[in-house]
Amino acid sequence: MIGGGQGAFIGAVHRIAASLDGLYELTAGAFSSDAAKSQATGVLLGLAPDRVYGSYEELITKEKQRPAAERVQVISIVTPNYLHFAPAKMALENGFDVVLDKPMTFSLAEAKQLRAVAEASGRLLCLTHTYTGYPMVKEARQLLAAGTLGPIRKAYVEYPQGWLSGFEEGGANKQAAWRTDPARSGVAGAMGDIGTHAFNLLEYVTGLQVTHLCADINTVVPGRQLDDDGAVLLKLSNGASAVLIASQIAAGEENNVRIRVYGDKGGVEWQQVDANTLQVKWLDRPAEIRRTGTGYVGSFAQHNARVPAGHPEGYLEAFANLYRNFALTLQAREAGETASPEALDYPSIADGVRGMAFIENVIASGQSEQKWTAFTV
């Protein structure tokens, strides 16, 4: 693991998610660029001191020097955005598969470069767009892909949060500090941090691509350097339209991710607050409540659940599904087999490139006086 020292939020989540299904074991880490801090984290995590490093370069170099059977196989990178590209590139080039936190890089240019590196390396990359790991999100995608609801006509995706309603970056909140800092986050704040999740969820569930967008991007809190709120009108590749909402100043909201997609026969609705439920609404018959862990859901939802219906699975399990499917894909590769469609269903470098393109396109659209901006990659 690279990053994820003390005070970091997402590092701990990655560690739980990776270990949940017993498919990964944490054996080495460069948890901080401060070697002493890195060692301190290593002690807490019970790692051998000689597997704890003071920099990602050291980790990659030294691990590579170890015998193949004793080195790390997958490197998780959980640093802030500006520290994604370099370690990911170096890891791939040195033969390691990579799990990388989103958004993939600091800029679209970096993202495209990383894609090229990955392709050349033959290594695989899993990007942690957590929300697509939920069984009922996968059920929605599978239902829509099967045409059960007819051709898609409209989609709404939302991610309102309230935690940046005040000028949190002015105080001791480390999360707020880097996420609102252009030097560490990139050109976007809310749009990069949560807008990309909404965008990825939209393209994942619909199976369509955004072709045009029209954005209203705002910085609401005085003194803030990046956007903290936005709404986007979108056109999709089949001609349908969509709306994307992301806000960090929706005071009182937690992490209220929600998506609704309508075909001509009915629609689906999912929201994180009730993550084990997928509502399927029909034009002329009663709505259905589909639930995680039941026998009647599709193969993707089945594959990504662990306990019987009624025992909720949550965010950590969704996150673990990404790690698990990536592991199953790597195991299949190792065994010379083709991974199942369910195993291959993890966010990849292609999603990462589109996510970075979203960030740059949406910010450009926000600054444009023209209504529609073509989505370019």
| Window 315 to 354, contacts with its own copies (CB under 8 A) | 315-317
329 secondary structure, DSSP code: H
Applying CB under 8 A, which of residues 169, 193, 313, 345 lies at the interface with its own copies? 313
**What does the H/E/C string look like for 119-187?**
HHHCCCEEECCHHHHCHHHHHHHHHHHCCCCCCCCEEEEEEECCCCCCCHHHCCCHHHHHHCCHHHHCC
Q: Which listed range, 48-56, 176-184, 249-257, 354-362, lies at the site for its own copies (CB under 8 A)?
A: 249-257
Q: What residues contact 36, with CB distance under 8 A and at least 6 apart?
A: none
Cα–Cα distance measured from residue 223 to residue 333, given in angstroms and rounded to the nearest whole number:
50
- Least CB distance to its own copies at residue 342 (A): 19
Please pick, from the candidates 116, 251, 350, 374, the single residue that binds its own copies as defined by CB under 8 A.
251
Least distance in angstroms from the C-beta of 358 to its own copies: 17
DSSP 3-state of 197: helix
Per-residue contact string for residues 268-307; x = within reach of its own copies by CB under 8 A: ----xxxxx--xxxxxxxxxxxxx-xxxx---------xx
Does position 177 bind its own copies by CB under 8 A? no
* CA distances to 44, 288, 312, 320, 363 from 273, in Å: 32, 18, 11, 18, 29
| Near its own copies by CB under 8 A: residue from 237, 238, 338, 368 | 368
**Nearest to its own copies of 85, 131 (CB atom):** 131
Q: Is 314 helix (H, G, I), strand (E, B) or coil?
A: coil
Nearer to its own copies, 111 or 221 (CB): 221
Containing H/E element for 323?
Answer: helix 315-334
d(CA 141, CA 280): 12
Task: With contacts defined by CB under 8 A, name the span among 64-72, 119-127, 163-171, 338-346 that binds its own copies.
Answer: 163-171
ω into residue 103 within 30 of 0, thus cis?
yes
CB of 277 to its own copies, least distance (A): 8
Residues 221-240 that bind its own copies (CB under 8 A): 229, 231, 233
* Spatial separation of the C-alpha atoms in residues 278 and 292, rounded to whole Å: 8
In whole angstroms, the minimum distance from the beta carbon of 173 to its own copies comes to 12
Give the integer Cα–Cα distance in Å for 30 and 130.
23
Query: In this chain, which stretch among 150-158, 192-200, 325-333, 348-356 interacts with its own copies, using CB under 8 A?
Result: 150-158
156 vs 178, which CB is nearer to its own copies? Answer: 156
21 binds its own copies (CB under 8 A): yes
> How many whole angstroms separate alpha carbon 299 and alpha carbon 290?
13
The Cα 211–Cα 375 span in angstroms is: 5
Contact code string over 27-66 relative to its own copies, x by CB under 8 A: ------------------xx--------------------
Per CB under 8 A, 178 contacts its own copies: no
Nearest 10 degrees: CA dihedral of 328, 330, 335, 340? 40
Task: Quote the CA–CA distance of 261 and 238 in Å, as a whole number.
Answer: 14
Q: Between 185 and 276, name the residue whose CB sits nearer to its own copies.
A: 276
Q: Segment 68-127, which members bind its own copies (CB under 8 A)?
A: none
Using the rule CB under 8 A, give the single segment among 48-56, 79-87, 211-219, 329-337 that binds its own copies.
211-219
Which residue from 195, 178, 201 is spatially nearest to 78, judged by alpha carbons? Answer: 178
Q: Contacting its own copies (CB under 8 A), which of 7, 9, 109, 145?
A: 9
Q: How far is the CB of 111 from its own copies (least distance, A)?
A: 26
Of 73, 94, 218, 219, the one binding its own copies (CB under 8 A) is 218
Q: Output the smallest distance, CB 374 to its own copies, in A.
A: 13
CA dist., res. 78 & res. 337, Å (int): 30
Q: Is 220 in the site for its own copies (CB under 8 A)?
A: yes
State how far the Cα of 315 lies from the Cα of 342, in Å rounded to an integer.
Answer: 19
Q: Which of 54, 95, 207, 312 binds its own copies (CB under 8 A)?
A: 312
Number of residues that bind its own copies (CB under 8 A): 87
